[in-house]
Chains A and B, each alone.
Chain A
Amino acid sequence: GDSVTQMEGPVTLSEEAFLTINCTYTATGYPSLFWYVQYPGEGLQLLLKATKADDKGSNKGFEATYRKETTSFHLEKGSVQVSDSAVYFCALLGQGAQKLVFGQGTRLTINP
């Protein structure tokens, strides 16, 4: 079945550091890929998405590129802020499917 593997956390960085959170997937066909962010005590917010190979999703300085050849969707940000501290979930949605498949989540802490 479909699956998502995220780099294990927690990840701790200093403000203005470069961020990469790795995400790889296994799926048949052409899934859509998502990054969701969950701030403490809140629900999930869609951060960005990509629906086909080589698409780049971007939002709030975060970017991720759908790489079919490496089955990856790594999240990057050039300069993180304290306010980026949250849990980040990589997820996929198979073609015609309704069930999101989530990675385990990566807890990110940014220190001033």
Chain B
Amino acid sequence: DTEVTQTPKHLVMGMTNKKSLKCEQHMGHRAMYWYKQKAKKPPELMFVYSYEKLSINESVPSRFSPECPNSSLLNLHLHALQPEDSALYLCASSQDSGGQSETQYFGPGTRLLVL
């Protein structure tokens, strides 16, 4: 089973709202990722958690706040977003065993619209 689940599927929020995106995997993977994908573009890496610790932050604005409560869950807290933050937010996971081939498995994404 290579399933990564994400909720909600769609989200509309105002610029003053606070919301959270949730990602879950039960494959025993120890690395989890947040990507942002704008229309007709490839995904862009935002954050990487490795063994529940933040290992990569790609200079993402502080209005995006990741959290990894345990090895199966990854959250992305959103606050005071801008309309240009509207995008598809993808979660991914991989084994993180330090091996050569760390295949990343993606979830279906949350489509976010900021008004």
Contacts and interface: CB of A to CB of B under 8 A. Distances in A.
Contact of A105 (B2, B41, B55, B102): B41
A96 B103 contact: no
Interface residues of B, number: 29
A103 B42 CA distance: 7
A43 B56 contact: no
B55 A44 contact: no
Contacts of B42: 89, 91, 102-105
Interface of A: 30, 32, 34, 36, 42-46, 49, 51-52, 89, 91, 93, 95-96, 98-100, 102-105, 107
Interface of B: 2, 6, 31, 33, 40-43, 45, 48, 50, 55-56, 88, 90, 92, 94, 96, 98, 100-109
Given A32-B102, A43-B106, A102-B43, 18 more contacts: A32-B100, A32-B101, A32-B103, A36-B106, A44-B43, A44-B90, A46-B2, A46-B104, A46-B105, A46-B106, A51-B100, A52-B100, A98-B33, A98-B48, A98-B56, A98-B96, A103-B42, A105-B41
